[in-house]
Copies of this chain bind each other. A is one copy, B any other.
Amino acid sequence: MKKELVIGIDIGGTNTDFGIVDKEGNILWNDSIKTNKYNEVEPFITDLTSKIKTGLAKFRENFIVKGIGVGAPNGNFFTGNIEFAPNLKWKGIIPLADLISKELFLPVTLTNDANAAALGEMIYGAAKGMKDFIVITLGTGLGSGIVVNGKLLYGHDGFAGELGHTVVFSEGRLCGCGKNGCLETYASATGIVTTAIEILNNSKEPSLLRNIKFTEGEEKLSSKDIFQAAEKGDKIALEIFEYTGKILGIKLADAVAFSSPEAIILFGGLANAGKFIFTPTKKYMEYYLLPFFRNKIKLLPSLLNDQNAAILGAAALAWGKE
């Protein structure tokens, strides 16, 4: 019998990673292209599918390819379209699943990138065996994939799970979506830098971060710098993580009140700050949980590396694990 394989594609604002994956979650071949090099979607599809054809050529003999799964920002599972993605150059509605399917003659299933990460965690990562959990991706923005009773939560239109755009302060920071005070303007790699600049500007406390040049709008300071300063015991850096963790913790308590997950998994750049982000987030989450939820909702780090999780999650879609 021929071995079954699928293709997983993770489209990010900067890179698009893709790979050929077997049922056990082994990535047998992978490659990537620069998403932001393409001003139009058509040449992107041409290059992406031509690379995938090259990869597939290696497996033609003893394998059968079942389908393609794609994780993409603002990807809609119901329509197969990318719809109004603020972090991509292709504007409006892009019928991505159709475009890929026409080139590769395989069924294509699409979902948003955070949902794909949640599938990756469920099948290969920290959420193995769980039926109710939430994955929070802390990257440039804040994405969320919510699993309820073993299935991704899509809602009536395919757009459920936008926790990055829940409200922290009704008159708060301006978000890329046009609203004020969204969670992702505070709890994300971008948000924590904004917090750092605010705290540095409002205090005279010495800090290692003062050695890094920054100007509002175009920061050189990165979330990694804040992490590295925190590791050296920098008071301001620790205060920045405390503030970020408080906001994230309160909103995670809200999420627990909503769907009562067994665990919340933090994934992506900012989650790699380890205890500096986990400790305050857990503390405030517990504090704002209803008493009967306390000490039973796990707050876990992802068990997949960033690139693999997305490819594996997208691949899981192709296996019909949506």
Contacts and interface: CB of A to CB of B under 8 A. Distances in A.
Interface residues of A, number: 45
Interface in A64-100: 83-84
Contacts of A287: 179
A55 to B, nearest CB: 34
B146 A149 contact: no
A195 interface: no
A199 interface: no
Contact of A159 (B160, B163, B260): B260
A36 interface: no
A258 to B, nearest CB: 5
Contacts of A154: 149, 260
Nearest to A160: B260
A163 B83 contact: no
B148 A257 contact: no
B132 A156 contact: yes
Interface in A106-162: 130-132, 146, 148-149, 151, 153-162
A105 interface: no
B166 A258 contact: yes
A28 interface: no
Interface string A252-284: 011101111110000000000000000000000
Contacts of A260: 154-162
B261 A155 contact: yes
Given A131-B156, A148-B148, A177 B291 contact: yes
Given A131-B156, A154-B260, A259-B259, 8 more contacts: A84-B291, A84-B292, A161-B258, A163-B258, A165-B290, A166-B253, A167-B250, A170-B250
Interface of A: 83-84, 130-132, 146, 148-149, 151, 153-163, 165-167, 170, 177-179, 246, 250, 253-255, 257-262, 287-288, 290-293, 296
